[in-house]
Amino acid sequence: MRLQWKHLWYAAGALAVSWIGARMLRPERIAVDVAPAAVGPLVETVGDEGQTRVRHRHIISAPLAGRLQRITLEVGDTVTAGMVVARLAPLPLDARSRQQAEAALETARDLERMSVAAEQEARTALEQARLDLRRGEALAAGGGLAPADLERLQLNERARAREVEGARAHAEAATHDVERARSALMAAGTASGAATLRLTCPIGGRVLAIPERSERTVLPGQALLEIGNPADLEVIVDLLSTDAVKVSPGQRLLVDGWGGEGTLGGSVRRVEPAGFTKISALGVEEQRVWVIGDFDTVPGRLGDRYRLDVRVVLWEGDGVLKVPASALFRRGEAWALFTVEDGRARERAVTVGHESSSESEIRAGLDAGAVVIRHPTDRIRDGGRVQAVAATP
């Protein structure tokens, strides 16, 4: 009997040791951050840091060499068209300089004629856009035109109207340039006692910049002031050329990081046809393209060259099955992710559609409500034991 009890104790000890060993050798649960695959809106965008810019900036420059009197204006002062903003005492001209001044006058006259022609062309385009809009509104009223096509016609009409404003401003500025060149030639015709040449403002607006206010001798073409209307702003952003090819005029703009509350809206007006090389913060050469857009409404607190975060909406949809973009990883040429099922990780191959900065559309391979691992590491294996430590809706 004593021997039997002894054997029983040995057996119990062996079972206990085996159980402890199995527990020690059992794979541990890996803590993972999870989120559900949800159905909702998704917006695909491209963007970068941009800035505001006065739409029509005019630089008042010296038409000829002379002694510039001290500029009394301050940055931010309001000016009107025809207002005297600077005074210049021309230096006597020799024969060669006189020929150059006469050529400058002829050039200004040519630019004036080109500006007038450009304004007429812009007005013709505006009339055509208004006709197209009226026809589109008639078709939309009868159900023959999609709302998106009508919105494009409305945006085109607005863009053409802004082009007319810009062309008119350029024509007025060209006229003032002709007057300035003619006055410079007449003033320089006298000797040392020449009358002071008064430089006038071509448009109304505000002073944006004064490179140097002190009295000094200036050369022909030297910038004296910058004039513009800070209330007439546009948005500019330089995008990678690989992103810029996806952008078209009329697409929506989302503007954040401007210093106020909420997201500002706008639309793309133009994608410039030529790119340029820019060195990134990491020292890498990048090909960038300027994208220019318009605000729907300009906040009064914004001014010229203010920083913005600009995004162009490439695609948007509702009822999209989406997961966090960080949940996806490459498996060969395909996309995959891990789901959590009964405490174990299960690898699933999925088909990815549109993507935003933080979420990705799943077109196949996953059902709504599935719990996915947000940040899979190389420790996670198919069938491995995991423990969810957070669930982010």
pLDDT tens track for 311-333? 999 999 899 999 999 999 998 88
* Residue 150: per-residue pLDDT: 82
Whether residues 106 and 178 fall in one domain = yes
106-110, 131-135, 183-187, 345-349: which is most confident: 345-349
Mean pLDDT of 235-259: 94
179 and 131 in a common domain: yes
Q: Say how far apart CA 154 and CA 148 lie, in whole Å.
A: 10
Query: Is residue 5 one of the residues assigned to a domain?
Result: no
Confidence category of residue 390, pLDDT binned at 50, 70, 90: low
Specify the CATH number for the domain of residue 110: 2.40.50.100
Least confident span in 44-53, 144-153, 184-193: 184-193
Residue 14 has pLDDT above 60, yes or no: yes
Q: According to the model, what pLDDT value does residue 393 have? A: 45
Domain harbouring 302, CATH code? 2.40.30.170
Mean per-residue pLDDT for 7-30? 61
Q: Which residue has the higher pLDDT, 93 or 257?
A: 257
Q: Specify if 1 maps to a domain.
A: no
Question: What integer is the mean pLDDT of 353-365?
Answer: 91
- Domain end (from 181, 205, 228): 228
337 and 309 fall within a common domain: no
Q: Are residues 223 and 359 in the same domain?
A: no
Q: Which two tokens stand for residue 110?
A: 């040519």
Residue 25 lies in a domain: no
97: Cβ contacts below 8 Å, ≥ 6 apart = 64, 65, 188
Residues 215 and 112 in one domain: yes
pLDDT value of residue 392: 47
Question: What CATH number does the domain containing 355 carry?
Answer: 2.40.420.20
Mean pLDDT of 243-267: 92
Q: Examine the domain organization and report whether 79 and 177 are in the same domain.
A: yes
Domain count, the chain: 3
Q: What percent of the chain has pLDDT over 90?
A: 41
Residue 34 has pLDDT above 70, yes or no: yes
Nearest CA to 327 among 45, 31, 36?
Answer: 36
Q: Are residues 90 and 218 in the same domain?
A: yes
Domain-ending residue, one of 288, 316, 344: 316
CA–CA dist 354, 381 (Å, integer): 27
Residue 308 and residue 322 in one domain: no
Residue type, 332: G
Residue 299 has pLDDT above 60, yes or no: yes
* Residue 242 burial by Cβ neighbours in a 10 Å radius (0-12, 13-18, 19+): exposed
The answer to which of 12-26, 91-105, 261-275, 333-347 has the lowest mean pLDDT is 12-26
121 occurs within a structural domain: yes
Q: Is residue 299 part of a domain?
A: yes
- For residues 106 and 183, membership in a common domain is answered with yes
CA distance 269 to 252: 10
Residue of 356, 300, 299 lying closest to 328 (CA atoms): 356
Whole-model pTM: value is 0.64
Would you mind telling me the total number of residues written for the chain in this entry? 393
9 domain residue, yes or no: no
Does any domain span residue 169?
Answer: yes
Selected residue with higher pLDDT from 144 and 268: 268
Least confidently predicted of 16-30, 32-46, 264-278, 335-349:
16-30
228 pLDDT higher than 70: yes
User: What pLDDT score was predicted for residue 191?
Assistant: 45
Would the pLDDT of 8 be above 80?
A: no
- Asked if residue 22 belongs to a domain, the reply is no
**Average pLDDT in the chain:** 85
Q: Phi, psi (5° rounding) for residue 342?
A: 55, 40
Angstrom distance (rounded) from CA 350 to CA 94: 79
Query: In this structure, are 123 and 173 located in the same domain?
Result: yes
Instruction: Examine the fold and report which residue of 209, 228, 247 is the final residue of a domain before the chain moves on.
Output: 228
Does position 248 have pLDDT exceeding 90, yes or no? yes
Task: Read off the pLDDT of each residue in 88-92 and give the average, rounded to a whole number.
Answer: 78
What domain range includes position 85?
56-228
Asked whether residue 86 falls in the same domain as residue 217, the answer is: yes
State residue 192's pLDDT score: 46
Token look-up 């957070």 returns 390
Same domain as 192, residue 60: yes
